[in-house]
Amino acid sequence: MEEVEQQKVNKKVLYSAVQPTNALTIGNYIGAIKNMVAMQDEYTCFFAIANMHAITVRQVPAQLRQKTLSLLALYMACGLDPNRCTLYVQSHVPCHAELAWVLNTFTYVGEMERMTQFKDKSAKHADNINMGLMDYPVLMAADILLYKTDVVPVGIDQRQHLEICRDIAIRFNNIYSPTFVVPEGVYPKVGAKIGDLLDPSKKMSKSAENANGTIFMDDDRDTIIRKFKRAVTDSDSEVRYDPENKPGVSNLLSIYTAFSGKSIEEAEREFAGRGYGDFKLAVGEAVADKLAPVQSEQARLLSDKEYLNSVLKAGAERAYKVASSTLSKVYRKIGFYQL
């Protein structure tokens, strides 16, 4: 705990949160988790398990609890160290919900109705278009603003959420004097978008209709190899990075470089003159080799629930210390009487 406190000096604050819903994919690993691991020493990092966001879609309670611990264990198995960053569960810090309520009064209905994700999720869950689904971006803004966040890693599909967060912060600051840090986005350049193996024009998704196009972090070796063998390529035979003309092959090259540590150029030379069969097998083996120790460590961590609970308790205490300070400042600014 002291290590984390000492590392906060002169470092920018980074915030990121992931929902503990469906199993994460290698796209999540390449685009998010790898970067989170790399950034935990460069920034003061708060990494949340966003279970409050998760319930905007109906969840099975027992599964949500299990997936919460599973995600924590996966984070740690991938290299996130609770002594170097703050790992916590969103609902363990009540300030998230409390600040979201205040920020609701600085957010306009029209802004929420225009959000792309609200429209998409409303279409997918037409039988449960709840206020939480619409209010999702405001809770996300509260998540970010509570920790005096300087930077937020965001994918292409989250840019709109970050922009509304910035708008809300600026709106509040203009009315009540500077209160919130207005965060900037960090957009991953490599691996920002890993395509579906069967349709590389689509992002690899943990909720894809056909699971054969998605490699999950908990897939076993045989499943991984089988899925890569079925991956879409083209009628050519050259392993070359050309996203426009060879999207399937280029997607596989991106995955291979992310898991092998080799550059695109090195990979192209390695597979020069070799068929797609060899290439796809090599990609599958590189992914399986990398995931095996992660899966083993995740299983080991999950067998020690007491330790995982201690990590979450310490993380919640650290997060609450920062979040409650921000919330108290907000309450004072808006005129709430405090004891």
CA–CA separation, 52 and 292 (whole Å)? 30
Contact between 68 and 52 under an 8 Å Cβ cutoff? The reply is no
Beta-carbon count within 10 A of 321 CB: 12
- What distances in angstroms separate CA 280 from CA 23, 126, 250, one per listed residue? 23, 39, 12
Residue type, 261: G
Q: Which two tokens stand for residue 207?
A: 């909720």
- 3-class secondary structure, 186: strand
- 3-class secondary structure, 17: strand
> In the 3-class helix/strand/coil scheme, how is 45-98 assigned residue by residue?
EEEEECHHHHCCCCCCHHHHHHHHHHHHHHHHHHCCCCCCCEEEEHHHCCHHHH
CA–CA separation, 236 and 269 (whole Å)? 17
Q: Which two tokens stand for residue 120?
A: 């998409």
Residues classed as catalytic: 121, 203, 206
Residue type, 314: A
